[in-house]
Structure formats: structure tokens, C-alpha cells
Structure 1
Amino acid sequence: MLKGHEISEVLLSDLEFSGRLDSEYYKPSFLKYEELVKSKKNLSLKNLSNFLIGPFGSAFTVDNYVQEANYRYIRGKDVKPLKIRDNDNVYMPKEDYERLSKYSLKENDILVSVVGTIGNAALVTKKDLPAIFSCKSTVLRPNKINSVYLLTYINTKYGKDLLLRKERGAIQKGLNLGDLETLDVFLPSNSFQLVIENIFRTSIEKTAQSKQTYTQAENLLLKEIGLQDFTPSKEPVNIKSFKDSFATSGRLDAEYYQPFYEEVENIIKRNGFTLLQDICSDINYGTVPTSPYTKTDDGIPYIKGMNLKNTEIKKDKLDRLVNTEQLPDKYFTKKGDIIISQMGTVGDVGVIRNEENWLFASFTIRARLSNFKLFNPSFVGLYIQKVAKKYYLYRNIAQASVRQNTDLPTIRGLYLPNIDIEKQNVVAELIEQSFSLKKQSEHLLEVAKKAVEIAIEENEEVAIAYINNQSNSNG
């Protein structure tokens, strides 16, 4: 009768102070993790850290964001596993920062998301400061444990699951302060904690190097095109005849005739240019879903606009499809393909490297170069992302629509500067170096988490042996 069901038997005397009686709280996996952590040296989080709860949501609102990047406001969605996201920052006025100064963050604070997507824990570093955090997070300020080690532990399967076990609410999930305080934390030796911190710090360094290298690629691209020191014209008027305006472009809106668009086009074309359609064997839309997205690793990965950025295929939110056997070859990727977001965030780009024979979505456009000896796909992808997106695609974006979009004729007519292939290859190599450093950084974070898990499951000596075995691996 109970075949296929999980059963946990818990004594009333063993119930936590919370008095939780729901079966979810006593899942066998949770009880197993709890027993294993408690079999080692451990303390509850309240004995290892001070806590700071975020301000009321009404204390600072989106209406008060400012452009000046002096005082950051860290939202709940900025708190990701291990690191604070820094590609969509928002900022607050100085007077608001000073008014809310008791919520100002310090280096090595740990932010834990406690509302919405709960349980994410990220370290506050110098680059994030000065900053205030929102009510969606709680700050841990460790006082008797290494901050980086504690951060890593919370992000292991043990720390994460034992924390998520304590979530409350049906529609709006959340964690109370009391829930955080009672989290059991495994305490290894101080030397082991320091080893974990060193791995994490090395990962942070490689991330910084990755960003610097990618910026070098962007700057070299702009230099070769002639846009490195370009300053857009602020001239408010651009006088055009009917012949040179509507009769040619079919456009009457003032935005299309902003002087800086023409200035950029002239710079790009001055040493010769090539249309994308003239160097591609295929330029086509992707396919619509052939099935509901699978919840497992079965099926073919399905690249959507949200997976495209800075010539990379982002895999953290990748969907998969089945029933794809009858799809024609034109919907499957090949190394060197350039995938362009056609709707929403128009012009974001991913270049296919190891993602061959994947599918790309109907709201993306694939450009397949016919000759890599003339144009490097990574160079072309970066040019579209860094230059054409802003100065060509946004200028020619479809008007009078609910969602901005581009189309096949616009992509076909995209002009590329004629740059020597050797110089293109240098830009492409910098991009690949950047991605390699990023991959190494991500690998190190996984090594740190896995090492803590091994120390819990076995001992520190085995965990150190694992770290040494991984020391020369790039992931």
C-alpha cells in the first residue's frame, strides 16, 4: 500500500522549536542531511553570525533610482549563488543612502535572499560598495567563522537544502530570521576554511581577468573600426530632402534621422564594407517549440533570446525539446553559426562553439557564414553585439509594434566593415581567452562546494586530496 512513498517517523520530542508538522519538512533527504551535519562538529548560525534585516519595501522605491553610479541599491534579484550580479546595477541618491545608512553593507557580508527566490547566498566585495540592500534579503555578518567558508557551505547541497527546508508560505515563499538562526553549520578546521577561501578568491580573480580580457576585445574591435574615440553628435537638427529621406528609407520618424547614426555608418563604411547576406550561406528564423519543455536533460537544447549575450550561449536557463526528428536541418546549429535575438532585447548575440546540433527559437535569427577565411564568426558576433545593435538594428527597428523587433531583410542588409582577417582573429582570440577564464572561475567555485561536501561526508583529508587532484583542471 505504501510502495513508492517516502515515510519518515519523527518523535514529538524531536520536533524543532518551530513546531513544524508538515510532511515536507521531514522528508527523508532532509533528515539524512541533518543527521550527517550534526554528526560532525557544528553550531547553529545564530552562534556564528550577527544578522541585519533589510529596510521596509517602502523605504526606497524604483521611482528614486538615479543614473549616477555612486551608491548601489542591491535588489533581491541581484543576489545569486555565491556572487552578486553586476550586469544590471541600479543606484540611489546620496541623501537616500545616508538616510538608510544603518542598512549599508560591508565587505565580506553575506546576503541571503529570504523572499521570492529564497536561499541564494552571495558575498559582498569591494566592487559592490557603497551599497544598501533591499527587504528581499537578510545580511549575515559572521563573527566566529570564515565568511567565505560560510558562504560556500550555504551554497552546498547540505546548506542549501537545510535552509530551503525552513521556507514558509504557500504563494509567497519566505524565510524568517528565526529560520536562518537555527541553520546547522558544519565547522571544519580553520586551515580548511582558509583553503576554501583561497579557492574562492582565485575564482574572483579569474572572473575579473575574464572581464578585462573581454573589454580588451571590445576596445580592439572599436579601434579597428575607428569608433574607439567616437563621440555622438548632439546636433538636434538633421535636414533631409524627400528624396534623401522617405523616398529612400520609407521612414518619417525623427529618431531614424538622428545625425549620429549617419556619422557611425560613414565611419564603418569608409574603408569598404560587406553586407551580411553576401557572406552567408543561410540567414533564417528558428523553429517554434515542437513539444512542451522537458523537465529533465532529455531532448535537444533550445536556444532562445534570453540565452544570448556577448557572443555567448548562456546555459543557466536553457530549455529542451523532444519530438524534433522531423525538423529540417535549417533549424539545427553548426559551429560558427551566429544566433541573433530578433525580438525583445534585439541584437543580443551568441556564437555557436560547442553547441552543435542544438535548436534555435523562432524569435531568433541564425546567420551562417560561408567562408571563415574572410570573416571570423566571433568577430562578426561581437561587432553585431557591440556596434550594430546600437547603431544599425535599433535605428532600423520595426516601428508601431508592441514589442520591438527586427526581421530578415534588416539582418541581411547589415553592413560589416572590411577588416583584415588577422586582426579579426586577434579579437576572436581575446574573446576565447575571456570565456576560458570564466570557465576556470566557475570550475573553482564548484571545486570549493564539492570539497566542503566531501569533508562532511568523509573527512578533511579526503577533501584536500580532491582539491589537489582538481588543481590543474580548467573544468
Structure 2
Amino acid sequence: MNSPFDKRKYKRLLEGLEASEVLISKCLQQNDFRLESSFWIQQNIVQLKTMKGMDIIDFVQYGTSKELNEEKEGYPILRLNEFNSRFIDIPNKYCKLISKDEYESLKLKQGDVLICRTNGNPNLVGRSALVLENTEYAYASYLFKIRPKTEIINSSTLVAFLSCKYGRNEIDKYSMTSNQTNFSPAKFKEIDIPIFNKSFNSKIEGLYFTAHKHLGKAVSFYHHAENLLLEAIGLKDFTPNNANVNVKTFKKSFGSTGRLDAEYYQEKYEDYEKLVKKYINGYEPLGVACEIKDNNFSPENEIEYQYIELADIGKSGNITGCTTAQGKDLPSRARRKVNANDVIVSTIEGSLSSCALVPHNYDDALCSTGFYVINSLKINSETLLVLIKSEPLQNLLKQGCSGTILTAISNTEFSNIPIPLIDASIQRQIADLINKSFVLRKESENLLEEAKAMVEREIEGLDSSEVKNG
């Protein structure tokens, strides 16, 4: 005997489930005919007036896909690596293959918002950064820039929204995933963006401007520490020999180093090594001056860990964030345990400057095996950080890299890098400057978190007077 359909009972059964009932006609209204469940169960913004991304854009543009170089040839090209918190930093790579006209069209201007379009890590897709002043930088093709209609939403508020959990929901909902996750300008145009009144926009903008000011002071303190170190080791008036030819006997080349690659024997590397070794206070191989913590750690399946990877390293030696997950969900490369005041150093050529000082809130965190973890009783952690990121050490690290598919520096080469034993008084000054830099950077991050929390609170419990009418 067939029982009649009980609609109320059916709805009760659905309550509490991560499920959603959707009419096929609604699916057909989507441009891409989205059928995956995650698209329909993502949390939507329903508490206030919203507009589609296409309605708040004044301008949108992809970056350049031309080959980049590290020799500073051509025009500076900003990448995701140079996103500094919610702002942009100075590019490390250049492009000599784009025309002057193309460069001019790609130059970042005040009020632009840069968004990561595609990445192998889904958490990085949709990450945004605010441009607060006119620059001389273009940007890479896996980013796109937009200029919002400021009469609807200003750039600061847009970045704050994209960074909050509701913005993240919209990005995840409309992203497309195959080998890599993609959030294109076309998908940005489909997301729902809440509309706030001018007063609220101004408050968020004020927080972003103050955060950027603190960040600028933090960078200034770091540069002061860097200059103090470079002057101490004699780099102030130093110019390496950039000749691309060097003649060596077999005994002084392969016979002693085991290396046949011509890059290894460039004279500039010899000049940097001599500079370090003639430091008045002496030097030691890194493996002698420092402890290299290279033992692997096996995370327990049900224990939650903080995991630091390459994308979490800021340009000034700070850790910008981490992934929190149980051991069973961590990648196989999450095998190095770090402690407060350790310094982590990327092993990969092209990312050797991705070094960071581990703060107390990351004590006992895990990092990727793509890092070396070091500390020293002879050099304080702040000075060690600045040393590793300095011009002489970065060049010596690059010289030590080898490999084909993935070029990296081996443990042996890393251990043999000469480290100057910086005078104790200079070390104390550097430590003071770096600590001041980190305090200001933390204040900047707190302001950005406050802006994000404000946006979330407005979305969750917005008074009707806060919603832009019309």
C-alpha cells in the first residue's frame, strides 16, 4: 500500500544534513550548469542586499604570461609571492618580452585590487591584495586586477570581504577545479557581494590605511637592520665581478667540488665567499655555527597540527599564516617540527629568500621538508634571519643549488656555506630592530583582522540602516 507524501516529515529529515534540494530549472539557469553538491550547499549571503561581481566592476584585466627572469631585465612583474598580507610588495622578477605599451596597460594603479586566479593550492585561489599607490609594476597572468566602482564599494572593503569567511564561501562556490583550481574574472562576475553604506566603507578604508602605515614602518625597521648587517660585513662599497667566464683547472674544479655546471664557477660567487671569509670577527661553516634540525617527525593521525608551507612565508621573514589540520590530513612533506626562535630556510632555487623566524605562537608547528630548520648559540635568531636573506648568503645559497627537475641546495652544500660570526653588539642592535619590525607587523595584521571581523558582523547582523538603499 502506497503511503501519501508527507512534505513536513521530508523537510524535517533534511534538517541538520549537509544537503540542499534544488530544482533542475535552477541548475539550468547557471552558465556552467553546476551539478556538484558543494556548489549548492555553500553558505549564501541572504541577510542583506547584494550585487553580482559584474555590477561592481569598473575595469578588469589579466596579467602577462610571458617568461620572467631574475636578472632584472625588462619590467618588474608582481606575482603571488609578493602579496604582503593584504597589500603588495616589491617584485623579485622581471619581463623583457612585453612591449612598452603592454607594460603601461598592466601598470598597477592606486585602488586596484589584485586577485589570484589559479593555483595548485585551492586556499590560495581568490587571495586578494590592495594597491594603495601608483606603481611601476605589471603583474603575472595567474593574477587579474579589478577596479571596483567606488560609488558602490571601495577597494579596501572589497578586499576585506574577499578575505572574510563569506567572501571565501563565494570564491569556493564559483571556483572550478581540475588539475588546478581556477577562479577567473568570469567567475568573479558571478559571486554575490554585499553592499554597505558609505560610512561603513570609510571605516574599513581607515583601518586598511592605518594597517598599511604600520606595515611600512615595519619594513623600514627591517631594512635598517639589513643595512646595519651589510655595513658590518663590508658590503656597502662592494661590487662583485659579474664576468660570465672563469678558467679553472680540473683539480680546482670537478676534482675538488664534483661540480661540472658552469654556473657554479662564476667569479661573483668567489667574490661573495671571500667577502664573508675576511670578516674581522671570523666565520664558520653553517653546519658548525648552527644546528641543522633535519630529523623527520611523524605526525599522529588524530592530533591537530599547525603546518607551515612555502606560500606562508612573508617577504620580511615573517610567517603570514598556516594550515591547521589533523595529522592524517597533512601532506607527506609535513615532516619537520619547528620551535620558537628557529629560522626556516627554503631549499628550492627561486624561493631561497623565503626564510622566516618562527614566533612563539608557532612553537611545535610542522613545516615542509622543503625547508631547512636551523638555530644557533653563536648568532641570535634575528641576526641569523637577516644574514640568510642578505645578498652574499643568497648568492652562495644559489651557487650551491643543483638538480634537473627540481633545483635545490643539498644538505652538504648548505652545511658548508660560510657564515660570518657577527659582533655581539651588532647582533643586539639587529635583534632590537627586527623585534620592533615584527611588533608593527603584528599591529598591522590585527587591524586587518578587525576589518575582516567587522565585515562578517555586518553580514551576520546588519541593521537595515547600514544597507545601501536601491
**Aligned residue runs from structure 1 range 415-430, under 5 A:** 415-430=418-433
CA contact (8 A) 1:76 1:134 kept: no
- Whether contact under 8 Å (1:65, 1:93) holds in the other structure is no
Match of 1:314 among 319, 336, 359: 319
Contact 1:72 1:128 in 2 (8 A): no
Amino acid at match of 1:109: D
Structure 2: tracts of 5 or more residues without a match: 1-12, 329-334
Please report how far the alpha carbon of residue 224 of structure 1 lies from its aligned counterpart in structure 2 after TM superposition.
Answer: 0.6
- Matched-pair contact (CA < 8 Å) for 1:305–1:343: no
- Percent same amino acid among aligned pairs? 24
The Cα offsets for residues 304-348 of structure 1, whole Å up to 9 and x where unpaired, read as: 66666768463535576749xxxxxx9754444344444555575
Aligned pairs for 1:159-198 (under 5 A) are 159-167=167-175, 180-181=188-189, 183-198=191-206
Deviation at 1:362, TM superposition (A): 5.0
Using the TM superposition, give the Cα deviation of residue 193 of structure 1 relative to its aligned residue in structure 2, in angstroms.
1.1
Query: What secondary structure, in the 3-state scheme, does the structure 1 residue paired with 2:390 have?
Result: helix
Name 2:453's counterpart in structure 1.
450
- Per-residue displacement from partner, 1:410-457 (whole Å, max 9, x unpaired)? 455443334321111111222222222222222211111111221222
Q: Deviations over 1:135-166 (max 9, x none)?
A: 86362431422332233233332233235434
Q: Deviations over 1:179-229 (max 9, x none)?
A: 544544333331221111011111122222222221221111100111122
Instruction: Name the amino acid aligned to 1:457.
Output: E
The Cα shift of 1:352 comes to: 3.5
- Matched residue SS, 1:217: helix
Q: Go from structure 1 to structure 2 and tell me whether the alpha carbon gap of 1:177 and 1:269 turns closer, same or farther (over 3 Å shift).
A: closer
Which range is displaced more, 431-440 or 254-263?
254-263
Question: Could you tell me which residue of structure 2 aligns to residue 287 of structure 1?
Answer: 296
More moved, 223-232 vs 79-88:
79-88
In structure 2, the residue matched to 1:375 is 379
What's 1:5 paired with?
Answer: 17
| Aligned-residue CA RMSD (Å) | 4.5
Q: Report the residue type matching 2:18 in the other structure.
A: E
Task: Evaluate the alpha carbon distance shift between residue 411 and residue 166 of structure 1 in structure 2; reply closer, same or farther with a 3 A threshold.
Answer: closer
Deviations 1:71-96 (A, max 9, x none): 455568877984346444444556x2
Q: Which residue of 2 aligns with 1:212?
A: 220
TM-score (normalizing by structure 1) = 0.72
SS of the aligned residue for 2:48 comes to helix
Distance of 1:193 and 1:238 partners within structure 2 = 60
CA distance in 1 between counterparts of 2:339 and 2:131 reads 40
Taking structure 1 as reference, are residues 436 and 460 closer, same or farther at Cα in structure 2, changes over 3 Å only? farther
Matched AA of 1:144 = E
1:389 paired residue among 373, 393, 403: 393
Match of 2:208 among 194, 200, 223: 200
CA apart distance, 1:246: 6.7
1:107 and 2:110 are equivalent in the alignment: yes
CA distance in 1, matches of 2:102, 2:246: 46
Which amino acid in structure 1 is aligned with residue 167 of structure 2?
G
2:440 pairs with 1:437: yes
Deviation of 1:12 after TM superposition, in Å, equals 8.0
Query: What secondary structure sits across from 1:423 in the alignment?
Result: helix
Whole-angstrom CA distance in 1 between matches of 2:270 and 2:389: 19
Cα 1:48/1:346, change in 2 over 3 Å = closer
Q: Decide whether the 8 Å contact of 1:286 with 1:360 is kept in 2.
A: no
CA distance in 1, matches of 2:275, 2:192: 61
Distance 2:117 2:251 in 1: 60
Instruction: Indicate conservation of the 8 Å contact 1:305/1:342, yes or no.
Output: no
> Is 2:122 the counterpart of 1:126?
no
Whole-angstrom distance in 2 between the partners of 1:398 and 1:133: 25
Question: What is the correspondence of 1:6-405 to structure 2 with a 5 Å cutoff?
Answer: 6-9=18-21, 17-18=29-30, 22=35, 23-27=37-41, 29-30=42-43, 33-38=44-49, 42-54=50-62, 61-63=65-67, 71-73=75-77, 82-84=86-88, 86-91=90-95, 96-99=99-102, 106-113=109-116, 118-129=125-136, 131=138, 134=141, 137=144, 139-145=146-152, 146-167=154-175, 180-181=188-189, 183-234=191-242, 255-270=263-278, 271-275=280-284, 276-280=286-290, 282-287=291-296, 289-290=298-299, 298-301=303-306, 312=317, 314=319, 316-318=321-323, 322=327, 332-342=337-347, 345=351, 349-354=355-360, 355-359=362-366, 364-370=371-377, 374-387=378-391, 389-395=393-399, 397=400, 403-405=406-408
Q: How far apart, in 1, do the equivalents of 2:82 and 2:395 lie?
A: 29
Task: Return the letter of the residue paired with 2:233.
Answer: I
Give the counterpart letter for 1:353 in structure 2.
P
CA distance in 2, matches of 1:177, 1:366: 39
What amino acid sits opposite 2:357 in the alignment?
V
Q: Distance in 1 between matches of 2:403 and 2:459?
A: 59
Helix, strand or coil: the match of 1:36? Answer: coil
In structure 1, C-alpha distance between the alignment counterparts of 2:344 and 2:175, rounded to whole Å:
39
How many residues were matched structurally? 437
SS in 2 for 1:122: strand
Closer, same or farther: CA 110–411 of 1 in aligned 2, 3 Å:
closer
- Where 1:165 maps in the other structure, the secondary structure is helix
Deviates more, 1:385-394 or 1:219-228: 385-394
Q: Output the CA distance in 2 between the equivalents of 1:181 and 1:402.
A: 38
CA distance, structure 2, for counterparts of residue 398 and residue 45 of structure 1: 45
- The residue type paired with residue 155 of structure 1 is S
Residue identity in the other structure for 2:383: F
More displaced, 414-423 or 239-248?
239-248
> How far apart are 1:301 and its partner, in Å?
3.9
